[in-house]
A and B are shown apart, each in its own frame.
Chain A
C-alpha cells in the first residue's frame, strides 16, 4: 500500500510542463521523479478500487470475492446500442 505521506506528496505531483491553457502550475521535477510519484498515486487509487487485481494471489477470501464481484460488475454492464 502507498504510505499516506507519499500520497500527500502526490498533491505536489507535477504535470509535465505543457502549453496553456492549464490550471496547474508546473514545477521543476525530473521526469523520473514525476513518474515515480504518479505510479504511487495510481497504486493508491487502484488499491482503493474494487478492480484490484491482487485477487490473483488466491490467498485471501475477500479478494476472491472481489474477483467474482469484478466479473459480475462487468457482465451486468450490457447496454443497448445507441446514437
Chain B
C-alpha cells in the first residue's frame, strides 16, 4: 500500500501510443492528413460514428480490441489498450502494426491510389529533417509516485538518470543529427535531439524529459506520461523499455530508487549517451563524480533485483531482470552480440555492412553530413565522371551560400573530388535507416524488418498467435476487456467512448439515455461482475422499450 492507502499497482499497468510516419510513395506530393484519413477509412469493420470519442466517423476509432486508432495532428496514431506487464504490451503494440498494415493492404488491393503510387507506413520517431513525432508510454502509478516523478526530487535524482541512460537498451538508432544539435554519424536514439527542457506539460515544442500532463483517466491513480522513447520494432527493445521502466517506477514507489546519479546537465547527457558509440563516455554528475550509462543502468538493475527479491507482487517482472542483466553484459563486452535483438544494434550492424563495403566510418559520415545537407539541391548529373560540382553550385543554391559552403569545405578538408561518392553513401545510409521502420508485411516486397524477422535474424519474445489474438481481443485482465466488448456489442448505439467511460443510447433505455457506463477502475477486467453487466445490457437491448425512468442496472467500476 502507498502512504495514501491506495493499493500499489504491481505489475504496473501500461499502454503505449505510437504516431506513425506516413507517405504516398510515387506521388509528387501528398497531404499527410488526407493520407491518414484514407488509412483510417479502410479499417474493417468500419466503425460507426458513435464509436468515436469525437463523433467523427473514421477520424477517431475505439476498437473492439480495446485500442484507439485515430488521426493525431497529421499522423495515424495507434494507442494500445491498457496491459498488465511488458509481454502483453508487446503483443498489443505489434497488433497495432498489423491493424495499420491491414488497412494499407486494403488500399493497395482496392486500387484506391493511382497506378505507381502506394501508401507507406513507418514506425519511427523522426523524419531526419528536424521533425519528430511521438511514441509515448503510459504507466499507471499512485498519485504520490506521479507527483514525486513529475514535480519532486525523485524525478530529477532518479527517473531522469534512468530515462537518459535506458537509451542503450531501447533506442531505435538513426543516421545523423537533427534540430540544430551537434553533428553525429550514428546515434542510438532518434529522439534525444528533440528534448530541450527538464519538465513541462507540452509535447510538441520544447519537449521535456519529465512530462507533467495531468490526465489520469482513472480514479485513485495517476497516469505517468513518458515521452522520451523511440518507436521500436524489435520486440525485445519494447519489452525491455516497458519492463525496466516499470521496475524503476516500483523502486520510486517504494522509496528505493538510486538517487546518487543526478545529472549535472540532463539534456546534454541525453544527447551524449545517444551519440556515444563506445558506450564508455562518462557523464558528469551533480555530486562531482562521473558515471557511464552502463554503470548507472547497473545500479538501477541491482536495486530492482533487491526489490523483486523482497516483494512477491513483483515476481512477474523477474524475467526482465535477467534480460536487463544480459543486455548490459553484452553491451559491456561486445554490442554486436545484441545485433539480433535491440533496434539500434540491429540497424547499426546493417548500416555498418554498407560502411564496410565502402571503407568508410561513422566519422566520415559525420564529417560530410553538413556539406551534403547544405548542397542537397545540387542536381545529380547524368554522368558523374567529369562533373565539377562546385562549378554548378552557385546556380543551385545561390552565390553567397555557395561561397560559404566552398570556404567551409576547404577549412574542413573535404575534397570536392569525393563529393558524389560521399553523397551517395549519405543517402544510401539514410534510405536503409528509413526502410528499417516500414511495417509492410504483405505484397511482392515485404519491408526490411519483416524480411529480417522472417529470416529468423531478429529475436522474438512473443509468439505470432499472441499478436493475432490482440488484433481481435482486448486483454482480459484490464478494463479494456469491458470497453472492447461494449464497443463490439453496442456499435450502432454508442454515443461516445473514452478510456474510462462508454455512453450509449438505445430505445430500450427510455428516459435513462444517454446512459453512461463508467470504467473508472483500470484493473477491472473480465470477471463475474463485468460479464453480468454485459449480459444485462445484452438482455435489455433485446427487450421492448421500458417505462420512463427505467435504468440499466449497474455502474461498472
Contacts and interface: CB of A to CB of B under 8 A. Distances in A.
B425 A11 contact: no
A82 B204 contact: yes
B337 interface: yes
Contacts of A54: 357
28 contacts: A15-B459, A16-B340, A19-B319, A20-B322, A21-B319, A21-B462, A31-B334, A38-B340, A41-B457, A46-B350, A46-B353, A48-B451, A49-B435, A51-B432, A53-B425, A67-B427, A71-B423, A77-B434, A80-B75, A80-B131, A80-B133, A81-B73, A81-B133, A81-B204, A82-B72, A83-B73, A83-B136, A83-B227
Contact of A13 (B337, B425, B456): B456
Interface residues of A, number: 48
Contact of A71 (B19, B239, B427, B462): B427
B522 interface: no
Contacts of A79: 21-22, 32, 74-75, 126-127, 131, 133
A68 B383 CA distance: 12
Contact of B336 (A20, A35, A50, A82): A35
A57 B432 CA distance: 18
- Which of A22, A43, A54, A79 has the most chain B CB within a 10 Å cutoff? A79
B270 interface: no
A73 to B, nearest CB: 6
B430 A74 contact: yes
Contact of B457 (A10, A56, A68): A10
Nearest to B337: A16
Nearest to A18: B326
Which are the 9 A-B pairs with shortest beta-carbon distances? A82-B133, A19-B322, A51-B432, A51-B431, A83-B134, A53-B428, A83-B203, A79-B127, A80-B74
Contact of B23 (A16, A45, A76): A76
Interface in B212-258: 227, 236, 239
A15 B322 contact: no
B165 interface: no
Contacts of B138: none
Interface of A: 7, 10-11, 13, 15-16, 18-24, 31, 35, 38-39, 41-43, 45-46, 48-56, 58, 64, 67-68, 70-71, 73-83
Contact of A38 (B129, B134, B339): B339
A81 B131 contact: yes
A22 B460 contact: yes
Contacts of A67: 380, 424, 427-428
A73 B21 CA distance: 14
B106 interface: no
Given A10-B457, A68-B380, A83-B73, A19 B350 contact: no
B3 interface: no
A58 B457 contact: no
Contacts of A15: 340-341, 459
Contacts of A52: 428
- Which of B25, B77, B319, B459 has the most chain A CB within a 10 Å cutoff? B459
B451 A45 contact: yes
A37 to B, nearest CB: 9
Nearest to A55: B424
A75 B376 CA distance: 9
Contacts of B461: 21-23
Contacts of B72: 82-83
A41 B455 contact: yes
B60 to A, nearest CB: 15
B321 to A, nearest CB: 9
A82 B75 contact: yes
A83 B425 contact: no
B340 A70 contact: no
Given A16-B330, A18-B326, A77-B434, A23 B462 contact: yes
Nearest to B87: A21
Contacts of A53: 354, 357-358, 424-425, 428-429
Contacts of B319: 19-21
A3 B384 CA distance: 32
Nearest to A75: B376
B353 A70 contact: no
B128 interface: yes
Nearest to A46: B353
Interface string B428-468: 11111011000000000000100110011101111100000
A83 B339 contact: no
A21 B463 CA distance: 10
B411 interface: no
